[in-house]
Structure 1
Amino acid sequence: MRIVPTFALTCAALLAPLASQAAERLDAAPRTAVVSAFPPEMAALEAATSGKKEFTAAGTRFVTGTLEGKPVVLFLSGISMVNAAMTTQAALDRFHVSRIVFSGVAGGADPELEVGDVVAPETWAQTSEMAYAREVPGGFAPTPGLVSDLPNFGMMHPRAVTVTQDPAKPEDRLSFTADPALIALARQSVEGLALKRCAADQCLTKPPKVVVGGAGGSGPVFVDNAAFRDYAHKTFGARVLDMESAAVAQVAYVNKTPFIAFRSLSDLAGGDPATNQFPVFLRLAADNSATVVRAFVKALP
C-alpha cells in the first residue's frame, strides 16, 4: 500500500511525542528491581524500604528507595504471565535496572519440599506453553513441527518459545536460566537462613529451609492438581510452580539483564493432604520469601 508523503509526514509528527514518552526514563540511578506479583508478597519488602519515591507509568506503581543499604525499584508485576512480562519490560524501559529479583509464593511440585520452604531455581520453564493435540483413536496426534520431544500430559504437548535476543537469530527455548552469579551469591548468602514457622494458629510440622538450584515452572494457571504437579516435576524437573517467574526470566533474557527468583511454598499445588493450603500459609510464605530476598539484597555488591 502506498501512503501520500504529506500524510506520512503528518503521522510521523504525531507519533514522535508518543515514542519519546515511551522511552522516557523516570530515574537514572542504577537499581535492583525487586518484583512481586501482588500486594501480600510485596508488603514486607516495601515496609523495609527507606527514602521512598513513587512513580506511575504504564498503569504500574513503581517505588524507588533503599532496601538493606542498596538502591532498588519495587513494583508489582500483576498476576500471571502477560502482566508479568508487560510490567517487567515497562520497568526496564523506564528505570536503569541492573538486575531483577523476584520475591513471591508458589505451589510446591517437588515431594522433597514442604510449605514454607524457599526455593531459588537455576532455570525456569513455561510449563503451560502447550499445543493441544487432536484426539485420534488410541491417543492424541499433535500437529507436526509444533511440539518438543518432552512427554505430553493428555492432549497437552509441550512446545518451545521462540525468542529473539538477536533479531537476526531467533531461537527456540524450553527454559530460561537465572543468572549464574546471582545463583552463586544466593548459595553464599541465604542458605541456612532461619525462617518463619507459624502463621496465626497454624504452625508447620518442620522448620522451613532455603534451597538454591533445580528448576521452576510457570504458566497462566493456578495449579491445584496432583496429576499435573507430578507431571511437571517429572517432565520439567519443576520444584515449584507459579504464574510469573518464567515470563520475567524471558524478558530478562531478551534484555540481557541478570535475573533470579525466590519462591516460598504456600501450598503443594495439589499435593496437599486435604484442601489447598494457599489461604492458610500465603502470608507466612510471602514473609519467608521477603526475609530471604532482604538477606540476598544485603549481600549484593
Structure 2
Amino acid sequence: MLKWLTVPALLLSLFVAAAPAAAETLDTTPRTAVMSAYQPEWVLLQSELQGRKDHAVNGTGFATGTLEGKPVLLFLSGISMVNAAMTTQLALDHFTVDRIVFSGIAGGVDPDLTIGDVVVPEQWSEYLEAVFAREKSGTYELPAHADKPAAHFGMIYPQPVKIINGGETEKRNWFPVDPGLLAVARAVASTTVLQDCAAQNCLDHLPRIVVGGNGVSGQAFVDNKEFREYARSAFAAEVLDMESAAVAHVAYVNAKPFIAFRSLSDLAGGGEGENEIGTFFQLASDNAAKVVRAFLKALK
C-alpha cells in the first residue's frame, strides 16, 4: 500500500504514528493540589478527605475529594528533590490543578524557632545547586564559568538554577511563593492554635506559626550544626528540607501558585542530643496539616 501514497502523505502518516500521546486528564474539576513527602505527613489530611476517589499514574497514588469544603488532590511526593519534582509534574499533567500546597516537616535553621513551630516561607532556594570547587594551595578555585557567591561552605559554592525558557536561559536563586496565598496564610496564622503533644510525645512550650522569611531545600538530610549555621548566614534561612524548592521550581515553570507549610520536627543538628525527628515527626506533621486545613477553609 505504501507505493500508492505520495511522499507528503507518507511523511504525515509516519509522524502521526510516532507522535507521543497527550497526557490523559484523569479529573477535570479544578483542585488545590495538597502534597506531602511521606506517609506520616498526610495521615490527618487523608482522614478528613470526603468523597474520595483514588487514581494511579506510573505507580504514584493520587486521591481526589473535598477537604474543608474545597476540591483537593492529595498525593505523596516521595522524599527527595527528584521525587518531588517528578510527582508534581505528574499531578499537573494528569489533573486540573489551580494551585499547589505542600504540607510537611522540616529542620529548623533559625535559632529563634523551636520544634513544632510551623513556618511558611515567602521564597525557596536550592542550596545544593552548586559547584564543588577544586582545592588548590590551601584554598578553593572555581571554574571560570561559575558564579562567585558571597558565602560558601568549604568546597560547596551555591549557584543559581538555570531554566531554559523559550530558548533563553534564565538564572534564579529564589523561587517565590504566591503572594495571594501567603496573605491567606498570614490571616489564618493569627487564629490557629497548634498542638504540643502527639503520640505521647509532648513539648514544654506551645508552638507558633511564622509566616515569611526564607526556606532552602537540597538532596541531603542535614543533621550538622556547622552546616545549619552556614545555611542561616548564607541564605537567611528559617527552615531546611528536601522537597519544597523543587516543587516551587516546577510550579514556577508551569505558572502555578505555590505555598509550603513546614513544621519543625528537628533542629537540623542544632539540638543538644540525638536528632529529634524520631520523637517529634508526628507532632510536626499534625501541626503542618492543621494549618493547611485552616488555610484551605479560608480560601475563597
Provide the TM-score with structure 2 as the length reference: 0.94
Per-residue Cα deviation, 1:66-91 (whole angstroms, up to 9, x for no partner): 00000000111111001100110111
Aligned residue number for residue 207 of structure 1: 206
Partner secondary structure for residue 170 of structure 1: strand
Aligned residue number for residue 66 of structure 1: 66
Task: List aligned pairs for 1:148-187, cutoff 5 A.
Answer: 148-164=148-164, 166-187=165-186
**Corresponding letter in the other structure for 2:34:** V
Identity %: 54
Partner secondary structure for residue 12 of structure 1: helix
Aligned residue number for residue 21 of structure 2: 19
Q: CA deviation at 1:128?
A: 1.4
Partner secondary structure for residue 31 of structure 1: strand
Aligned residue number for residue 241 of structure 2: 242
Q: CA deviation at 1:255?
A: 0.4
Distance 1:192-1:143 versus aligned 2 partners, 3 A rule: farther
Distance 1:140-1:259 versus aligned 2 partners, 3 A rule: same
Q: Once superposed, which parts of structure 1, at least 4 consecutive aligned residues long, lie more than 4 Å away?
A: 4-11
RMSD: 1.7
Partner secondary structure for residue 289 of structure 1: helix
Aligned residue number for residue 284 of structure 1: 283
| Alpha-carbon contact 1:32-1:101 (below 8 Å) kept | yes
Partner secondary structure for residue 19 of structure 1: coil
Aligned residue number for residue 99 of structure 1: 99
Aligned residue number for residue 55 of structure 1: 55
Partner secondary structure for residue 223 of structure 2: coil
Moved more, 286-295 or 57-66: 57-66
Q: What is the number of residues matched between the two proteins?
A: 294
Q: CA deviation at 1:119?
A: 0.3
| Alpha-carbon contact 2:199-2:282 (below 8 Å) kept | no
Q: CA deviation at 1:108?
A: 0.3
Structure 1 unaligned regions, length at least 5: none
- Is the counterpart of residue 217 in structure 1 residue 220 in structure 2? no
Aligned residue number for residue 259 of structure 1: 258
**Corresponding letter in the other structure for 1:19:** A
- Is the counterpart of residue 79 in structure 1 residue 79 in structure 2? yes
Partner secondary structure for residue 79 of structure 2: coil
| Alpha-carbon contact 1:192-1:209 (below 8 Å) kept | no
**Corresponding letter in the other structure for 2:173:** L
**Corresponding letter in the other structure for 1:158:** P
| Alpha-carbon contact 1:192-1:210 (below 8 Å) kept | no
| Alpha-carbon contact 1:150-1:158 (below 8 Å) kept | no
Distance (Å, rounded) in 2 between the aligned partners of 1:55 and 1:94: 10
| Alpha-carbon contact 1:199-1:280 (below 8 Å) kept | no
Distance (Å, rounded) in 2 between the aligned partners of 1:248 and 1:24: 22
Aligned residue number for residue 144 of structure 1: 144
Provide the TM-score with structure 1 as the length reference: 0.93
Per-residue Cα deviation, 1:88-120 (whole angstroms, up to 9, x for no partner): 011111111100000000000000000000000
Per-residue Cα deviation, 1:12-57 (whole angstroms, up to 9, x for no partner): 34433x423xx21111111000000111111110111100001111
**Corresponding letter in the other structure for 1:154:** G
Distance (Å, rounded) in 2 between the aligned partners of 1:240 and 1:253: 20
Q: CA deviation at 1:295?
A: 0.2
